[in-house]
Amino acid sequence: MDLLDDYLTGVRAQGAAFCNAVSTPPWGLRFTDPAPLALGALARGSGWLLTEGADPVRLEQGDIALVRTASPFTVADRPDSEPRVYVDGANRCVLTGGPTREGDGRTWRITARTVGETTDPGGTDLLLTAGYRVGSDLSGPLLDALPPVAVVRPDPGLAALLDLIATEVEHEEPGQQVVLDRFLDLLLVRVLRSWFARADATPPPGYRALADPEIGHVLRRLHEDPAHPWTVALLATEAGMSRTAFARRFTALVGRPPLTYLTEWRMTLAAERLRAPGATVTTVARAVGYADGFAFSAAFKRVRGVSPSAHRAAVTTAGTGTGTTAGTGTGAGAAGMTAGMRTG
């Protein structure tokens, strides 16, 4: 396990439910209740991503955008195209404006799985979107490291994966549900890798240090066994370095001293464990490497700003929704799809 594995724990596509929107341009999909992390990819054609308070973002064929927003956003063939299909947080496609689009005489229809004027998905544009309604504290460092909109340009590996997804969604086949769920998982991981490899990106603490043989090994050990009674001396031994040289290199590559990083990660794990029914401060303290609840509570409040009990009470009050949404759409023979996803 490494830190990206941990950050993505529980973020899995599972049980996607499809809703197709089929039309010719102009086309637009409005996501009225977006997830904290949304992904949009143009497998064919081009379009625009419009978020509130920001300039429209052009998307060319093969581009993939990661979107972090709590506000509604739109994906359309042009910035001025009015959305015809609205996708809500319950994974439903809603066609606006009645059965006929004003001014063009085209008749739209809604069936169990299709919104639009044709059932032919073979248009020139194909938009794939997926949203993760992440309820896990473990994903916090990952989300915090992403800008509001991050666009990854196409590369051969991503293009091949988009081609596979585009082919799969065009025809219903046995086992399609599992195939699409796994494709969406793989696409997210590959896009994150591509984005954080950019020189101008700011990855989560320690991400780039994974490439260093010694420090990367230590980071993996910390994530594999965070409750171990680690000291700087023990970690230096793991790295095969002197204590001074290890502490200096770890701090330079990760951005914080070894034990500070360990404490922050333990508190992230603890915040997640406190969500579990029946969890107590004492059991969580032991699970993340503390012999008693007092030292753990002090560390938790210092790092997280609230006591473990207050954090648990807030989570219980607010709830921990785990639904996610995902979708695809096409224009010029355009089609849109939403796929419901749950964090597992």
pLDDT digits (tens, 9 = 90+) for 249-283: 999 999 999 999 999 999 999 999 998 888 999 99
Shared domain check, 98 and 79:
yes
| Farthest-apart Cα atoms in the chain, separation | 77
Span 285-290, average pLDDT: 96
**Structure pTM?**
0.76
pLDDT classification of 181: cutoffs 50, 70, 90 = confident
Does the pLDDT value for residue 12 go beyond 70?
A: no
Q: Contact at 8 Å (CB) between 262 and 270?
A: no
pLDDT above 90 coverage of the chain, percent: 40
Higher pLDDT, 1 or 341: 1
Shared domain check, 187 and 283:
no
Does the pLDDT value for residue 105 go beyond 50?
A: no
pLDDT for 227:
96
Shared domain check, 131 and 112:
yes
Shared domain check, 283 and 167:
no
Mean pLDDT of the chain: 79
Does the pLDDT value for residue 112 go beyond 80?
A: no
Does the pLDDT value for residue 16 go beyond 50?
A: no
Shared domain check, 307 and 173:
no
Lowest mean pLDDT among 79-93, 118-132, 232-246, 291-305: 118-132
Shared domain check, 219 and 260:
yes
Q: Residue 309 has which token pair?
A: 């009990």
Shared domain check, 121 and 256:
no
Tell me: the pLDDT tens digits for 216-244?
999 999 999 999 999 999 999 999 999 99
pLDDT for 330:
39
Shared domain check, 265 and 134:
no
Enclosing domain of residue 43: 3-203+323-342
Domain of 223, CATH number, reads 1.10.10.60
Tell me: the pLDDT tens digits for 288-340?
999 989 999 999 999 999 999 999 888 766 654 444 334 444 333 333 333 33
Higher pLDDT, 156 or 49: 49
Shared domain check, 135 and 218:
no
Span 47-61, average pLDDT: 92
Shared domain check, 338 and 284:
no
pLDDT classification of 150: cutoffs 50, 70, 90 = very high
Higher pLDDT, 342 or 146: 146
In the chain, the number of structural domains is: 2
Shared domain check, 199 and 215:
no
Shared domain check, 144 and 7:
yes
Tell me: the pLDDT tens digits for 293-306?
999 999 999 999 99
